[in-house]
Amino acid sequence: MPFPTPENYKFKFIDLFAGIGGFRLALQNAGGKCIYTSEWNSGAKKTYRANFGEIPFGDITNGKNKNYIPDQFDILCAGFPCQAFSIAGNRKGFADTRGTLFFDVEQIIERHQPKVVFLENVKNLVSHDKGNTFKVILETLEVKLGYKVFHKVLNSATHANVPQNRERIFIVAFDPDQVENYLNFEFPEEIKLTKTIHDFIEKGKQDDIYYYKKGHKYYQELERSMISKDTVYQWRRVYVRENKNNVCPTLTANMGTGGHNVPLIKDDFGIRKLTPKECFAFQGYPVHDYILPKLANSNLYMQAGNSVTTSLIERIAKQICMVL
């Protein structure tokens, strides 16, 4: 178990929609102790257990699972999935959030009143339903629950020194009654990208399953288009897309669907897909210590694509800790 709960800690947090533990890894590094975690996907739970020694509680929409949340903790973390707020634009004031996973987060905040709420989501959340979805979330946090909210879109390539083009919206909300100096909070500054894809790609030949064979129907097009060993490519149905800025394209959850959409590279031994281990590295995971259990590669690809860039979460967590 490479990442046990630290004995000495500065704050307590809970980890909702935990996936494979990206938030947990980051907040433990920032001095936190995880006292509750929830995740419903069985494969992700196996990866979580291998690394943290605990099996997350299941579906957070289940009231029984909610009842296991301890009364008091400092930070609520949730990289919650964004479901369509189907009636978000049709009501005055608060739109009804029932039926969405954000409603479950709202219930937990209302019941437990953490000092801080720390949320992550896709960049498109801001513009979803002409901005109504995001408006509902902000109104719920600010008007209904009384939190002071900060939000910003950050990119892993510009804010975490990880060469992956991954833009996400981050929401940090403080309870002003418990955190008087909440106005001191600032998101981390941009930092120079000094690492290249070669810091994240495995050296030497990888397993044959990752390489395209010369008889593959697209091999000639791949060979013609993929000429550089210093960038990551994407196969787009019938053509190759080169990432001109020499960073990895956004890793997605649908990398797991039969291996499609997995980014491609050219190495000394041929043209191949990134391995699951490399995808975890591009999410900031310490891959020499982090355990990937024996699961189908499609499952591991999906886990990587669904995760957060943990080193970026850690930078934001440290900013939160400075305020606390």
Q: Please, which residues bridge with residue 164 across strands?
A: 248
* The pLDDT of residue 93 is above 60: no
Instruction: Dump pLDDT digits (tens) for 131-159.
Output: 888 998 999 999 999 999 999 999 999 99
Q: Which of 34, 77, 82, 279 is catalytic?
A: 82
**Domains, the chain, with CATH or none:** 11-193+308-323 (3.40.50.150), 197-294 (no CATH)
- DSSP H/E element including 297: helix 297-306
Looking at the whole model, is its pTM more than 0.85? yes
Q: Give the CB-side neighbour count of residue 155, counting CA atoms within 13 A.
A: 14
Instruction: Dump pLDDT digits (tens) for 101-124.
Output: 898 999 999 999 999 999 999 888
Nearest to 309 by CA among 120, 68, 127, 49: 120
The per-residue pLDDT for 285 is 98
Other Cβ atoms within 10 Å of 219 Cβ, number: 14
Told to judge if 82 belongs to the known catalytic residues of this protein, a careful annotator would answer: yes
Question: Got the DSSP string for 32-83?
Answer: EEEEEEB---HHHHHHHHHHHS-PPB--TTSHHHHTTS-S--SEEEE-----
